[in-house]
Structure 1
């Protein structure tokens, strides 16, 4: 789903270091993205681990403009969705679509993608029924933000009760743990990876939370036409700006330890609790294989 499959893939675009690594959960697998390539590891029905690697330099490596502030956030989102969607589709083929885990997780992913399409428009519409956007722009946008958060949290809480989705979230946790061990320079053993936190400050779930917060600020500063469709269209058109600012907030919070960044990280970890589960050792093994393959010298 969009929150997990983009997930910490944003790490690959947040860091400027050559060793930058990001990833996302897949169906019975983990995708890891290095600056020049991405690798996919999937646990097959027979228990073996399938590995494949694809050369695919990030846009931020190919174009200088893709590293500009604000622009890089939109580029990161595009690259994350592009690569993780390919990995998700491929993992569904490898895991076997006839398996309940694959079908359930794929349906949940599709449903959330459709939900996020309404995520931009529906909250603004509902908030407009209760508060005048022109007369009380701050209150209107705060209410729209709360409705966004309620929609997202409610959906994730409901699907998180499905055992198959819970397993998908375990791969998300394993992906976080493997990257944390890699970033600390630890040998990628099951023991070392399991000791890491399942939450990471540069996760895509945190990014979604920051999009909600940033949207409240940006939309409150903009004129709010009384005509509903013009108002909703304006929210859609401003989404790249909101995403770009949210990315910069994510980048700041991950790189600093001051009280503000600590508060932002705590908020992000709260949201990650909805999409992350503690993985088992066999799931961690898949994440390790994907990390090693993605980071292996060409």
Structure 2
């Protein structure tokens, strides 16, 4: 970039099974590879919830994630050919199995404590691992990082960027699991028989804490603590979460990036 160029937009994204969804400050854009081989693209305004809650640590993270999830039905309506990460029978089956296994562990008399909560947290990752196992989703995850990374750095084309990114959602995993295990263990000490409502409260609090840790890491980029916090996420991206995409897949990412910049007035 030259001195006269504006600061790059802060972009986020989500890999689809056949394309890429990109979030901008106010708009979303998505491109997918249609069954006939063409690239279909759409964009629209993001749902936004404002108010005092935006300034509340923890709650603001849950709010932003909720807004990101609210975009998904808009994408499906605009692009019926879009295939979401969990649109796979194995992923749905594993999610059902995890729910059943979690209920069984919770019913076991001797299965309480930190060990059981850690086992439940580990089981919860199984659907995500299966979703990435097929390769195409992992490749489009790589497209997401390479397209956004190349744009943010001004380094050139997406093919030259790395497939790992410091703002990947994988960096939420470690603080999310740790806070979930700690919160569930604490809940059992203060509530005689934790129910679904208290469990949901712990899950929401864990999400809020994880997002705050994520945001803190971005504000302190380059610190040793940030490096340690991001290490699990980078390893997850490197080993499982991302794969080097093909040129055809990169073309889909380029289309999504061009559309979000157009929609945001850049």
Corresponding residue for 1:283? 249
Q: Are residues 1:180 and 2:149 paired?
A: yes
Q: Are residues 1:40 and 2:9 paired?
A: no
Q: Are residues 1:82 and 2:51 paired?
A: no
- Once the two structures are superposed, residues 43-76 of structure 1 have per-residue CA deviations (whole angstroms, 9 ceiling, x without a partner) of 12232211111122543xx445324321111112
Provide TM-score, normalisation by structure 1: 0.72
1:232-251 aligned at under 5 Å gives the runs 233-251=197-215
Q: Relative to total residues, which structure has the larger helix share, 1 or 2?
A: 1
Instruction: Specify every segment of 5 or more residues in structure 1 that has no aligned partner in the other structure, as ranges.
Output: 1-16, 96-101, 133-139
Equivalent residue pairs, number: 256
- C-alpha deviation, 1:81, in angstroms: 1.6
Corresponding residue for 2:180? 215
Corresponding residue for 2:121? 148
Q: Are residues 1:71 and 2:59 paired?
A: yes
Name the stretch that deviates more: 207-216 or 260-269. Answer: 207-216
CA–CA separation in structure 1 for the residues paired with 2:118 and 2:200 = 14
CA–CA separation in structure 2 for the residues paired with 1:76 and 1:120 = 30
8 A contact 1:172–1:277 mirrored in 2: yes
Instruction: Specify every segment of 5 or more residues in structure 2 that has no aligned partner in the other structure, as ranges.
Output: 1-6
What is the RMSD computed on CA atoms of the aligned residues?
A: 3.3
8 A contact 2:143–2:249 mirrored in 1: yes
Provide TM-score, normalisation by structure 2: 0.80
- Once the two structures are superposed, residues 242-283 of structure 1 have per-residue CA deviations (whole angstroms, 9 ceiling, x without a partner) of 111110111122332222211111111233343322111111
8 A contact 1:124–1:232 mirrored in 2: no
CA–CA separation in structure 2 for the residues paired with 1:74 and 1:107 = 26
SS of the residue 1:94 aligns to: coil
Corresponding residue for 1:3? none
- C-alpha deviation, 1:78, in angstroms: 0.6
